[in-house]
Amino acid sequence: MAQTPTSTPPESCISPEALNALSRGTAIESLGIEFTRIGADFLCATMPVDARTRQPYGLLHGGASVLLAETLGSTGGNLRVQPGERCVGIEINANHVRGVRDGVVTGTARALHVGRSTQVWEIRIEDDAGALVCVSRLTLAVVPTRGGDRSAQS
């Protein structure tokens, strides 16, 4: 039966610094996303609101928020799979509830469901003042790892 974990399994202990190193040369690095905290039941990262992440009207681009959300949920999911497995996104939704023009947003991901074949994650993105900017839900499929897959390395 599927259960929601209360802590990160010991075999998946990894530091924010290690996740940031793994993100080099990816869209994560290009948008300035940095993993900042890993807790027993959450994962956090920040993203600047600047020329890389704004849409033409000067607001944080919704797509950038979704990239932050999927980064957090997928990373959290991959920290909770068994050896020989990995998570891939199969559905994401996002509600953008507040505009942001500058500063830094912080995303926090928490597992809602961790099962053998699927996981569901909620990601909340807040502005510098702690106001909700976006709330997202990500569904992941748990699949076998293929040889040479960068996401399987942890």
Catalytic residue list contains 29:
no
Determine the Cα–Cα distance for residues 108 and 28; give it in Å rounded to an integer. Answer: 15
Residue 138 pairs in a beta bridge with: 92, 121
Query: Which tokens hold the place of 11?
Result: 């075999």
Q: What is the spatial distance between Cα 38 and Cα 68, in angstroms, rounded to a whole number?
A: 15
Per residue in 108-129, pLDDT tens? 999 999 999 999 999 999 999 9
Farthest CA pair distance, the chain: 47
Q: Does the pLDDT of residue 148 top 60, yes or no?
A: no
pLDDT for 13: 76
Catalytic residue among 11, 70, 91, 126: 70
Mean pLDDT for the chain overall: 90
Over residues 129-147, the mean pLDDT reads 96
- Strand 132-144 versus strand 118-126 pairing type: antiparallel
The rounded distance, in Å, linking the Cα atoms of 79 and 8 is 7
For the chain, list the domains and their CATH numbers.
Answer: 10-152 (3.10.129.10)
Give me the pLDDT at residue 153, please: 40
**Strand pairing partners for 86?**
143
